[in-house]
Amino acid sequence: MTIENFKLLTLEEKLSQLKYNGELLGSYERNGEPNAPKIPGDIFALYDFWVYLSEDEQTVIPSRRNPIVAEQ
């Protein structure tokens, strides 16, 4: 699956892909709106891209780069 195909999935399909094919890499706090607190969640490796999943499982954001490596 490509990142483009993943973006076209429904929320339920994205969560299923993460559950069955994703590899949890660790916790991550994503920047939100300016002057707002960071949004806690997790980063998953999925195929050849990475996915941020918020704690409430309502925000799923795929990325071509691993944000955990960038923060170290």
pLDDT given for residue 71 in this prediction? 54
The tokens describing 19, both together, are: 């559950």
Confidence of residue 70 (pLDDT cuts 50, 70, 90): low
Rounded distance between C-alpha atoms, residue 26 and residue 9, angstroms: 23
pLDDT at residue 67, as a whole number: 84
Give the pLDDT confidence of 3-44 residue by residue, as tens digits: 999 999 999 999 999 999 999 999 999 887 888 888 999 999
CA distance 9 to 2: 11
